[in-house]
Chain A
Amino acid sequence: MRYLKFGLAALLLLAIGAAASAQTVLRAGLDVDAGTMDPRQARDTSAARMQELIFNGLVTLDANQVPQPDLATSWEFVSPTELVFQLREGVVFHDGSPFDAEDVVYTYTTLVDPDFGAPRRSLYTPIQEVVADGPYQVRFVLSQPYAPLLQYLDMGIVPSDAAEAAGAAFGDQPIGTGPFRLVSWERGATIRLAANDDYFKGRPNIDEIVISVIPDNNVRLIALESGDLDLIHSPVPPQDLARLRGSTALAVHETTALGYTYLNLNLEDPLLQDVRVRKALAHLTDRDTISEVLFYGMDTPGTSFLLPGTFYYTDDVTTYEYDPERAAQLLAEAGWSDSDGDGILDKDGRPLRIELTTNVDPNREQVLEFLQGEWRQVGIDVSVRAYEWPSFIADVMAGNYQISLIGWLLLNDPDRASYLQFRTGGDSNYGRYSNARVDELLEAGRAETDPEARKAVYAEIARIITDELPYIFVVNQGYVVMHDPALEGFVVNPSGSWKSLESARLAN
């Protein structure tokens, strides 16, 4: 009996659990914790989500990735290398200090300082100098015309005095002008934000945002479905997306993301130096099946580095239909035949052996295993290896691979999708691709400020790239948001931005 009483008491304790609160609290889930809250140091997607809520940039990118006024009210290129911004007056930071041109100067001066160690510094290197022309006017002086710049000026502006005083600790105690301020941050677990009463666009409707870090994709989704969360976004397992499309219990949004997944071909490998072999592999890569069967339509067949849904997209590129016969023919033309009858193609006594590698990721591993089966059909001896990210990327960067499946993210400008990747000697040109015309066009695309002319430049690059195949584009990544239908006014942005939470509301 004593035990029974104790048991009942314990049960009662368990039952007293959920406490309701009168405030509107949005509970969101993320896959990884933010590495830092300092916008200049942001390197992961979660840090990007936080900086959009805590800070404001000079501009903000709308769902079409077109810059719109944020802390800047207007801007003008006074010369190809000089960009002048008029700033909003009367804005205050979370600590009550006023925002002015000095903060912009400080933010970008520190950002481009190599010793500051900003992960995305390479995007801003053409900035030579940032000058305050007055309390509410700043001038960006560039070393060369740099068309993508505006796309990158959505980065949060930090308060010069407070950031300077805090040093590296600013990333733990961020102070911005944004719709929400940081209340507490339990590393690896929970980030709490509260509405900024003095937000210059008006106080947000949502009083509090509690962001939980839940690494497992399945569990994060279950937490949403069981009502422990109100909002999650990519990564979402594709098979679960397929299950939840058309759900009435959840609002499910899908759009194209600003990223693609591709096969990176190491052109220093003698086997892959023959473009006929690369074309054969492209013909053997059944993008439609990969998109429909492996990704349940979440990711769409890849075309080039110019992404659908962006201004620069074009379908006027070389595409390779799934065609094993054509592939076999191309390989034969390249001199590969099964001379010893072992089922594997060979040339000069060497078998056609390819290792496909990627990082540990169930979807990527599936893609490679699928390709392994396809490529083997025409007599290529394919092996697949998936290993943990740090070792994998170290190998890729060192050119220590044959063909790797990788992705690029956050490509809000075509320059970002191509300049480091395809330029001769480019820092992310892992496969050592080199084409003088492409190098020339990449510089031209950086400098060209007329959108239509610029679009034509990148279309030409895309045609050359798809023709010469340093990359085989597999899928364009999809972006998924799922939330409680009670959340109203959330605008899905392919960049993954949560900025619209500044005006969204949570109906009761």
Chain B
Amino acid sequence: MVQYAARRLLMFVPVVLGVLTIVFVVLRLVPGDPAAIFVGPEGTAEDRRRVTEALGLDKPIPVQYGIYLLRVAQGDFGRSIFLRTEVSKLIRDTFPATLELALLAMLLTVVIAVPLGIVAATRANTPVDLAVTVLALLGVSMPIFWFGVLAILVFSLELGWLPSFGRGPGLFPALRSGDLALVGQALRYALLPSLTLAVTSIALVARLVRSSLLEILGLDYVRTARAKGASERRVVLKHAFRNALLSVVTVLGLQFGTLLGGAVVTEVIFAWPGLGRLIVNAINQRDYPLIQGSVVFVAVLISLVNLLVDLSYAWINPKIRYG
């Protein structure tokens, strides 16, 4: 297992190199010039030339690539062109907000989707099952930005229960401070965005739990368990659900990766100061070093989550071994 993990970790090197190269090349292929955006519409051609030189963008692309790789090898991802701050610091500053949102969304997914799926499966083809199925369908097909704005309209404007935007004090800082009131405040801010972010995953996972559980509940060993006189609760939760878990964990893991790297829309709607917004702004300004650094960061993160998911299989199903 340790060997397997080490081998997988070693695989990160080509992954990082590949992502780096692709991002680097694609950025230089798409139109849009950071120097032109930097000097703005009132900048002169002379100003643009000067900025291009200062950024080293006048050098041939292979040379730029070589310089960049050399710096990355030394752990230096450069400075953002527009924010004039170390890329690594910007990622460090914004990532906690995104992680916070993703973890809460994950929590909401598990807490809401799993019971819903179980209920739907055990009451298959009843009105309860139908309701869950319809809700799940709605959740998958609803555009996130629409749900987000609607949620703000209802819970902030109409009901006045929750704040309409922002991270407030932030959950991690609040937890560190140990002040319960502050934690409460942070949760108030986080509730709508994490729910918005979770909607799609909740719907996906609920459907998946329902279908995998249904399949397993029809198997012979479940009948045996029932015949043994095990309670229905024990049959569903101990015998059947554990086996349904494998595919659920796979999807949850994939979803978590998506949540980490793809909270862009939610972060923009709720003015949540996370990594997604940082990346979007960077792309809109063609902030090459910042885009490159943050995309590589997200790629490594997703690879890491996938590795953890793979490792968890052995725990869920002891028949699975890594060698």
Contacts and interface: CB of A to CB of B under 8 A. Distances in A.
A80 interface: no
A155 to B, nearest CB: 14
A16 B184 contact: yes
B164 A14 contact: no
A389 B166 contact: no
B82 A188 contact: no
A432 to B, nearest CB: 14
A428 B41 CA distance: 7
Contacts of B39: 117, 119
Contacts of A121: 43, 47
Given A14-B188, A188-B94, A189-B273, A219 B152 contact: yes
Interface string B50-83: 1100100000000000000000000000000011
Nearest to A224: B164
B271 A35 contact: no
A191 to B, nearest CB: 12
A50 to B, nearest CB: 15
A179 interface: no
* Contact-residue bracket for chain A: 35 or more
Interface string B254-275: 0000000000000011110100
Given A117-B47, A190-B166, A395 B184 contact: no
Residue with the greatest number of chain B CB neighbours at <10 A, chosen from A10, A12, A15, A228: A228
A226 B156 contact: yes
A400 to B, nearest CB: 9
B50 A189 contact: no
B185 A17 contact: yes
Contacts of B45: 427
B154 to A, nearest CB: 10
Contact of A390 (B31, B84, B160, B166): B31
A469 B72 CA distance: 51
A189 B149 contact: no
B207 interface: no
Interface stretch (B197-205, B278-286, B312-320): B278-286
A13 interface: yes
Contacts of A123: 42
B42 A390 contact: no
Contacts of B32: 388, 390-391, 393-394
A17 B184 contact: yes
B40 A119 contact: yes
A214 B193 CA distance: 14
A226 B164 contact: yes
A188 B281 CA distance: 9
Nearest to A387: B31
A427 B50 CA distance: 15
A239 to B, nearest CB: 14
A390 B36 CA distance: 9
Contact of B42 (A122, A190, A225, A397): A122
B187 interface: yes
Interface string A33-45: 0011000000100
B321 to A, nearest CB: 38
Contact of B271 (A10, A189, A226, A390): A189
B216 interface: no
Interface in B106-153: 149, 152-153
Interface string A1-35: 00000000010111111110000000000000001
Contact of A218 (B46, B149, B191, B273): B149
A472 B247 CA distance: 60
Given A119-B38, A428-B41, A389 B165 contact: no
B268 A35 contact: no
B30 interface: yes
A391 B283 CA distance: 11
Query: Can you list the 3 inter-chain pairs with the closest CB atoms, starting with the nearest?
Result: A390-B32, A13-B184, A189-B273
5 contacts: A13-B181, A187-B85, A213-B273, A216-B268, A222-B152
Interface of B: 30-33, 36-47, 50-51, 54, 82-85, 90, 93-94, 149, 152-153, 156-157, 160, 163-167, 180-181, 183-185, 187-188, 191, 268-271, 273, 277-278, 281, 284-286
Interface of A: 10, 12-19, 35-36, 43, 114-115, 117, 119-123, 168, 171-172, 186-190, 212-216, 218-220, 222-223, 225-228, 388-391, 393-395, 397, 408, 416, 420, 427-428
